Homo-oligomer: A and B are copies of this chain.
Amino acid sequence: MIQDIETPSEEFFNIHGRLLYAPGPTMVPPRVLQAMSKQIINPDLDPDFPNWLLETSRLVGKIIKTKNEVLILPGEGMLALDAALNSVIKPNDEVLVLASGIFGHGFADMVKNCRGKPIVVATDGYDEVLSVEKVKEALDNHPNITAITLVHCETPSGTLNPLKEICKVCQKSDAITIVDAVSSNGGTDILTDEFGIDINLGASQKVFSAPPGIAFMSLSERAIEVINERESIPTFYSDLSVWTKSWIKNRSLPFTHSISDLYAFRESVEIILEEGLENGFRRHKRISKAIIAAGQAMGLELYPKKNDYVSPTVTAFKVPTGIDFEKLMLLMWKKYGVLIAGAWGPVLGGRVLRLGNMGFGANPQFALIALAALEKSLKDFGFQIKLGAANEAFWENY
């Protein structure tokens, strides 16, 4: 019987590695790791580098369906958020902050930090998605806003906001739309130009499944104008005008780029395009559907209120009553070699568990390993469970 099989020792996992099944950083495909181990070139001096980087940014543009400039920055996703807000928002600017979870509300703090004035449109709970009607109302009531922030995939709650519909409403405003699609870019169809997104933010370690260290963003002409017109900001590293003036204008870099991270990121971009965008989106959808069913089959309740709210890149379930999530996570990690995530903060901390079915992780093999480890761990904690039920439900719904 499956429960009699001796699990590997922690030493085994230390040597051979574990499965990352948290919503980013994800496992990195072997091809990407190999690309990363190439000898570096000098990005400041190599005469071929600017073209290669430009080509890379255009390939990213294909994935997020934009003809706009795509900046690729040496830093974590947070750098893209920080740089976009600091470079666009002037002191006392009114900014419409659309918030359906931790990250959405986080934007309000960042806007305040930029000395802007956040006007927050929020959902009642983190298990919901934004109401297009409420956004419309807020836009009518606040005609002077200069920017709108929206988180597409609320990674901590596993929800996906109705981007297309919200953007349609926002297009009537002159405000710069700043969309955090860090956990959805590449995993679901985002038509940046058609939706009218001025700034679409992404990062390497989510659906792209490259190591963390690269952030990117598309910039509409209007966004570039706004960035260039405003007075300089105190920080250099987060000042996008440094990039518009040196990279966009002259194709020269303001400082040394992270070349090994770029090798990895470029390989990830190639992999996404080789698979075909539609194939990738479909793969995420299928995995998501199968994982929801598998989780429910083992007795877990989905965190988002409706299946329609679930992001195809991350699945959040409620932690069953009586289970200490930290202990569950550690058991899965130490005994079964699988890493899943919880969340944090007063609403979600200890209350949800999350599977990161994004990018390289959106495949049946990895999903089933993670589900089996979760099922067995829950049973180890005395949770009523029929081993194998998840597996069966997975395949029935895949």
| Chain A residues within 8 Å of B, Cβ to Cβ | 17-18, 20, 22, 24-25, 27-28, 33-34, 36-47, 74-79, 81-83, 86, 110, 113-115, 205, 211-213, 232-238, 254-261, 264, 329-330, 333, 339, 341
Contact = CB atoms under 8 A, between A and B. Distances in A.
Contacts of A33: 37-39
A235 B75 contact: no
Say how many copies of this protein the assembly contains: 2
A86 B235 contact: yes
A256 B113 contact: no
B39 A76 contact: no
A75 B77 contact: no
Contacts of A212: 40, 43, 74, 256-260
A36 B37 contact: yes
A29 to B, nearest CB: 10
A255 B78 contact: yes
Contact of A205 (B233, B236, B256): B256
Q: Is the interface of A mostly helix, strand, loop or mixed?
A: loop
Contacts of A82: 235-238
Contacts of A234: 86, 113-115, 233-235
Given A234-B235, A256-B77, A261 B42 contact: no
A338 B147 CA distance: 48
27 contacts: A18-B41, A25-B40, A25-B42, A25-B259, A27-B39, A33-B37, A33-B38, A33-B39, A36-B36, A36-B37, A43-B212, A76-B257, A78-B254, A79-B237, A82-B235, A113-B236, A205-B256, A212-B257, A212-B260, A213-B260, A233-B235, A234-B234, A235-B235, A237-B237, A238-B238, A260-B260, A261-B261
A74 B258 CA distance: 10
- Closest 5 pairs (CB-CB, A-B): A37-B37, A213-B258, A211-B260, A78-B255, A235-B235
Nearest to A204: B258
A120 to B, nearest CB: 18
A231 to B, nearest CB: 11
Nearest to A211: B260
Contacts of A205: 256
B22 A45 contact: yes
Contacts of A81: 236
Contacts of A79: 75, 237
Nearest to A78: B255
A1 to B, nearest CB: 30
A340 to B, nearest CB: 8
Contacts of A211: 40, 258-261
Contacts of A257: 76, 212
A24 B34 CA distance: 23
Contact of A238 (B24, B27, B38, B237): B237
